[in-house]
Structure 1
Amino acid sequence: MLLVACARPDASHPPDHPFDPYERQNRKVHAFNLGVDRALIRPASKGYSNFLPDDIETAIGRFAFNLAIPSDVVNNVLQGNMKGAIQDTFRFAVNTTVGLGGFFDPATEMGLPQPTDTDFGETLYVWGAREGAYVELPLLGPGTERDTWGKAVDLFTNPLTYVLESPENLYGTAASVSSGLSNRGRYSDTIDSILYESADSYAQSRSIYLQNRRFELGKGVDDTYLDPYSDPYEDPYDE
């Protein structure tokens, strides 16, 4: 029922124009997100990046990335991508043991394939769910109706959430927040140019997100665009 509920444009909607029936509300959320970024996230990220040495930032990013791999495994299984599930499981096992929990990345040095980096939004795409309307969420930023449902389900798809006891099961969340601040500081110039130097930062963010997301679902690699609200890893730890 949730999948059927995804909105879609009518026949008169131009195919090359974003389907954004909630634009008025989206712009209000975008203004809120800009205010939070300007007042809190941007200054915090700059202080964080200036305080921590680059090697430690990278290690924390690896740790967060490694803890997210079990969720990729689950989504690969749901997508019928058993090859990706097996490769991700092997990478997780190597980096968790030999790599001391993921702070190091021996899997890459061994030549193992990079993680598939998937999510439940992509699972819905594989299952045939429509993209739906463009939406911007408070703090989470740009998305679509399909990806919004995907983000909600992804809160429950990581098996580590159920295996680890408290407070160990919160380590991944803390590492992800830390990694997000690191990325915001590292890519500050590019993100600031999108959010604060564009004639219409809302339209710019919408265009960048939709182009990036549609390209990702095609399993391409596009380094032309940067989603200012997501982790902008291309090959995050092969540096």
Structure 2
Amino acid sequence: MRARSLARPAALVPAALLALAACTPAPPGTQVHDPYEARNRAVHAFNIKADTVALRPLGQAANAVVPEGIGAAIVTFSDNASLPGMALNGLLQGNIEDAAVNSGRFVFNTLFGFLGFGDPAAEIGLYERDTDFGETLAVWGAPEGAYLELPLLGPSTERDAAGELVDILLDPLEWVGSDAVEAYRRYGTAAYVGEQIVERGQFMGTVDGLLYESADSYAQARLAYLQNRRFQLGPASGAGGGAAQADGFVDPFADEGAAAPAADAYPDFVDPFADLE
């Protein structure tokens, strides 16, 4: 186990370099850089089917059956397990304050919050400083790259997709080499899945409105993601042309003459839910 954990930091460097190389800047003046739209729409259609078949019913069941306190504890535990990675990203960004806050929050909630199911750290002012390797890449100057929609994971960009991959390698708990810590990591992964189900139930109306009631749910999801992510990253976002920032609105239907590509315009994408129609 120790040898495997030591290999993680070594794998970080080439993974980060590949991530940086994969992120290509948008052409000048481009507000939404989406050269893979046909493929993205096919993935979006797949994600909606996956939501219809699995995530939405599970969210409804969780909303009806799981007590609110237990649902909140699952979300808190999942968030706590992700704090070491956030602390390390803070260090990589040169943000010592955020790294210290996330580290202190993790230690305090793990020791005094029933391994992270409770949140006593909030009572002393230690609130989560949310970050990830996608933001680290942005701070390092990597461009946002093209918009992507990932199977099951949803909206992203080339930079953020690369960041999600590297975040798997960035979990400092992996480097400890303790069976107890490894078990904690496994439970944290399970809690993350539970968090997605719980939050799907909590935000049922909002998500349903976006996915099932929009005239073009793909365009709306893309717009919502890019605006929110660029607002979160601020000047570091490096968004093409500065568009779709928090103070700007990009109309996804502005080009009224352009027809949306068909969902089957990317034939290499295999939809396992196709037979359910």
Q: Residue 215 and residue 98 in structure 1: after superposition, are their counterparts in 2 closer, same or farther (change >3 A)?
A: same
Q: 1:147 aligns with which of 160, 176, 182?
A: 160
Aligned to 2:200: 184
Aligned to 1:121: 134
Aligned to 1:105: 119
Which amino acid is 1:207 matched to? L
SS at match of 1:131: coil
Q: 2:98 aligns with which of 66, 74, 84?
A: 84
CA distance in 2, matches of 1:208, 1:42: 20
CA distance in 1, matches of 2:164, 2:46: 20
Structure-to-structure mapping, 1:1-239, within 5 angstroms: 1-2=17-18, 3-11=20-28, 14-15=29-30, 17-112=31-126, 114-163=127-176, 164-165=178-179, 166-218=182-234
CA distance in 2, matches of 1:23, 1:160: 37
Aligned to 1:225: none
CA distance in 2, matches of 1:49, 1:173: 21
CA distance in 1, matches of 2:144, 2:156: 10
Runs of 4+ in structure 1 over 6 Å off = none
- Greater Rg by CA: 2
> How much does 1:167 deviate?
4.1
What TM-score, normalized by structure 2, do the two folds share?
Answer: 0.75
Worse overlay, 99-108 or 28-37: 99-108
CA distance in 1, matches of 2:87, 2:26: 33
> How much does 1:10 deviate?
2.4
Aligned to 2:264: none
Q: Deviations over 1:66-89 (max 9, x none)?
A: 111000011001111111111111
CA distance in 1, matches of 2:125, 2:206: 31
> How much does 1:103 deviate?
1.2
Q: Higher RCO, 1 or 2 (CA under 8 Å, sep at least 6)? A: 2
Which amino acid is 1:35 matched to? K
Aligned to 1:226: none
Which amino acid is 2:224 matched to? I
SS at match of 2:22: coil
Q: Give structure 1 stretches of 5+ with no counterpart.
A: 223-239
CA distance in 2, matches of 1:182, 1:205: 20
What TM-score, normalized by structure 1, do the two folds share?
Answer: 0.86
Which amino acid is 1:68 matched to? S
